[in-house]
Amino acid sequence: MMRPAPWIALLAALLSWPAHAGLFDDAEARKEIMRIRDDHTARLDALESSSRASLQLANQIEAIKAEMAKLRGDVELMMHDMESVKKRQQDFYVDLDARLRTLETGGAGPAAQIDPAAESRDYENALNLLKAGKYAEAATAFDTFVTTYAGSSFLPSAHFWAGSAALQAKDIARATQHFNTVVNQWPQDARAPDALLGVANCQRAMGERRLEQNTLKAVISQYPDSAAAKSAKQRLGS
């Protein structure tokens, strides 16, 4: 049997080598392509997940903003309602006071030196200024009234309303003086409990919290069945 020439074997080896090398390169390339594809897929998944999280966060932020806007609106509405209630309550007490004083003057004649018509007119004018929210003017009008009509049966109420008007006008010293006048000179008057509560309000406005608490306790002890005592208990948390 004849053995093939050496050059034939060498040629066969050379011809077969590129085929094996090509197969090896294709496998590596496919692996690299798959690796790159998997890497890009992972990155896309991470990006999509991050985008969804960002979108959810943005939605949550918008929801919180909307809720805060609603709460601000609710608070503003409540503040408006409180001011309206406060104004209606003040108007009610002013009207009630005027009616009570009219009955009082009708049942008992005023002192000789007082002109009843002028007295009622000036008192009503001062009340109207208070109802209109002209607090500084109302306080001045009541000051004039208590000076002009020193013997008037309206004096306890006039001092009380003068104190209320002065407190609203931020004239705390003036308000305190009028409230104390009611408490000291007419402790049994219907206005006395509210006047003492007014003193506590003045102390609160001045930042004198300890004095305010003592005065609130005095309201409760001196006028236990009054509406002012109920308010004082609420403020003391008892």
pLDDT at 198: 96
Pick the closest to residue 87 from 164, 158, 199 (CA basis). Answer: 164
d(CA 33, CA 28): 9
Residue 151 has a pLDDT of 87
Residue ending a domain, among 45, 75, 108, is: 108
Report the alpha-carbon distance of residue 102 to residue 98 in Å, rounded.
6
Question: At which residue do the structure tokens 């409540």 appear?
Answer: 78
Q: Are residues 99 and 49 in the same domain?
A: yes
Torsions phi, psi of 150, nearest 5?
-65, -25
The token pair at 124 is: 């009503």
185 to 142, 159, 160, 221: CA distances (angstroms): 17, 11, 12, 18
Total Cβ atoms within 10 A of residue 63: 10
CB 164 within 8 A of CB 129: no
Distances (CA, A) of 27 to 18, 20, 21, 115: 14, 11, 10, 120
Same domain, 157 and 216: yes
Sequence-ordered list of residues with C-beta below 8 angstroms from that of 232, at least 6 positions apart, any chain: 197, 200, 216, 217, 219, 220
pLDDT tens track, the chain, 238 positions: 455 555 555 555 555 555 454 545 667 777 777 888 877 788 877 877 777 777 777 777 877 766 776 666 666 556 655 655 555 566 556 666 666 655 555 544 444 466 888 999 999 999 999 999 999 999 999 999 999 998 899 999 999 999 999 999 999 999 999 999 999 999 999 999 999 999 999 999 999 999 999 999 999 999 999 999 999 999 998 6
Residue 43: predicted pLDDT: 81
Domain count, the chain: 2
Q: What is the pLDDT of residue 47?
A: 78
- CA–CA–CA angle 184, 212, 77 (5° rounding): 115
The pLDDT of residue 193 is 96
Which of 61, 88, 108 terminates a domain? The answer is 108
Residue 3 in tokens: 């053995």
pLDDT of residue 98: 60
Range(s) of the domain holding residue 85: 33-108
Are 221 and 145 found together in one domain?
yes
**pLDDT at position 108:** 46
Cβ neighbors of 142 (< 8 A, separation 6 or more) are 126, 158, 159, 161, 162, 165, 178
CATH number (domain holding residue 207): 1.25.40.10
Which amino acid is it at 15? L
Helix axis angle, 155-168 to 6-107, nearest 10°:
160
CA distance 238 to 227: 15
Residues 101, 119 within the same domain: no
